[in-house]
Structure formats: structure tokens, C-alpha cells
Amino acid sequence: MPLDSYVSLGRSGLRVSPFTLGAMTFGEDNGWGCTPEEADSMMSEYLGRGGNFIDTANIYTNGHSEKIVGDFFAARPGQRDRVVIGTKFLGNLWPGDPNGGGAGRKAIVQQAEESLRRLRMDYIDIYWLHNWDRTAPIEETMRALDDLVTAGKIRYIGLSDLPAWKVTEAQMIADFRGWNPAIALQVEYSLLARTVEGEYIPMAQQLGLGVMPWSPLRNGFLSGKFSRRSTGAVDALRTVLVGEPMEADYDVIDVLETVAAEAGVSPAAAALSWVHNRPGVTSTLIGARRMDQLTTNLDAVDVRLTESQTEALDKVSTPRLNFPAGYAKLSLDLAFAGTTVDGVPSEMSHLLKQSAVRY
């Protein structure tokens, strides 16, 4: 699937690239990002390959990321409408102001206006709630976002990192009230973070939400930098914030290296291919500090692992999911008693095998 083989994002008419360019690394304000010039080069590379979706947030490098994206498109008249620009709200840039962030109406409107100012744009294509504001009623949040759609300030709504039950509540309220629902969901998803498979992925598929994995390389742990065979220093500026892989992580990394070698690709490309081809995934967020990292990640869009390679990665990274995920097989067997339904076979339960008598 090349970068310009576009896909519909959730239950919407918005078409996006299979890989989305994440702009969290744009700006050196946090001590580990890239310069505006490097960001410009990476955006040019991504767009030149046919990519059309750039994702940022008001809090990324204290607003500098949005400004870098805005300056890039302001210098290229006519190109803004050819791309999809997403940004996020919730993060407070104003210490001491309780309404400077969060998901209340006042905060949402103020943050949208500030993002539009930094982006130097008239509208945002998809506006994401960055996290769950536990103090704001979700109906207030969804109504304020619906008003922004009506006002033409945003085109679509997205949700990021909320509990699955809260996402469901938001969607149900929007549907009941006739408001614009969310069309996509951002969640952490990688070979080292698979618990979203228990609730989030099935929920998103049921509710018409396109899934966008973030950190598909798990903070660089799956990029090839970290290996049991490496003895030198790792070029990873963020390790001071996110730490280093644990012993169990290296068990997955070992198999990833083997699969990547068999496929003739980098570990990063194999890891990205694995997550991008998971059920429910629409567009995978990729980011980079340097052009060589970006090109390596973008090349992964054409990588397709074999069934046996995928199974090897599935097996070594199988997560322990929350209740009631562990009862999925039992439920299938109890309900369908050895028949095949929707292509999925079941077995006759042990209870039925005990006696042929029926009352």
C-alpha cells in the first residue's frame, strides 16, 4: 500500500494516507526535537511521496510545532487545502489559568482560536481531544466541538487516549443528540503495547472510528537502536524521559530482529508493518527527529510480512488482556456448539459432551 493509496478515516468522507506524519518532534524546545529547517525538509519529503495527513498538538514544544507547520504552509500558497491537518487540545500553556486547558467550552474555544493563530489557517481538519478531562461533562465537550464544526472552525472530531467506556459514552451522546460524532481514535499500539486489542479495537470497529496508533515503535524501543547484541551507547535523547527496554521487551525485540532479517527490512519497518496491518487500524502515526529516520519509517508502508513472520511476532508479544477478554473462546463455544459462524469455528463445550440428554 503506497503512501498515496488513501483510505477513509472511520465512518467519514475524509481520505487520508496510510501513514500520518506526526509533528511532536518539530522544534527543539524540549531538548530532543528537530530544527524548523529539518521539520520543513521532512514535511516536504512526506508530501512529495504522496502523504497528505500531518498531526500536531497545541502542547507540542509549547506551540512551536503548530507554528512550524503553519509557517511551512503559509510559504506555499494553495497547498494547505490539499492536505489534512490535525491538532489536539487539552494541554494548558498558561500556568495559573484553570481555564487555559481542559475540555470545557471556554477552554475548547480559546484553544481552537490559539491553534488557528499559530497554524495561520482558517480551519482545522480534525480536532482531537488529547486526553480525558475528568472534570468536564462529556456532553459539554461534544456540544462545544459540534459548535466548532457548525462554525466552520473544524471539519471533524477525534478522540485520543480516553477510556473505552468514555469514548462510547461520547459517541452515544452525540448520536442521540444529533451532534457530529468523532470519526477517529488515537491510542498507543505496538508490539510492546497491545492491550488495546481487548476493548478499544472492537469498540472502534463497532462505532465507526478509524484507529490511529501512536508510538508504533514504542518510544524507539523497536527502531533497531536497542538490541541485546549492542554494547555501545544508544542514540536516543528521550531515554531520560521514557527509560529503556525491560528484559521482557528484549524477548520481543529478539524475534523482531529475526523477522526483519528474514524479510530483508529494518526492525523499524517490520514493526511498523506489523502494527499497520492489524485489524481496525486505518492510519499509523510516524515521527522522526532526522530525515534518515523518516525515510526508513516511510519505506515501511510497502512492507508486508509473511503469515509465518506475523505469527512469530504475534506469539512473542501476546498480551494479557483485561476481563472479560479471556472468556472470548469460551463464549464462542457456548454459543455456537461446534459450528462455524462468520468464518470462525467453535468447539462443542465440555458441558455438552457430558451427556446427550436434553430436557
Tell me if 14 sits within 8 A of 206, measured CB to CB. no
- Residues contacting 196, CB < 8 A, separation 6+: 187, 188, 189
CA distance 111 to 93: 9
Residue 129, phi then psi, degrees to nearest 5: -75, 115
Closest CA to 190 of 216, 168, 209, 229: 216
Tell me if 214 sits within 8 A of 187, measured CB to CB. yes
Task: Determine how β-strand 53-55 pairs with β-strand 84-89.
Answer: parallel
Tell me if 76 sits within 8 A of 85, measured CB to CB. no
CA distance 278 to 319: 14
Which set of grid coordinates corresponds to residue 120?
495561520
CA distance 104 to 284: 29
Q: Is 60 a catalytic residue?
A: yes
Tell me if 313 sits within 8 A of 275, measured CB to CB. no
- Residue tagged active-site, from 6, 46, 60, 156: 60
Distance of CA 323 to the CA centre of its chain: 23
101 torsion bin: left (phi>0), alpha (psi -120 to 50), beta (else) = beta
CA distance 234 to 243: 12
DSSP SS3 for 68: helix
CA distance 64 to 66: 5
Residue type, 235: D
Which residues does the annotation mark as catalytic? 60
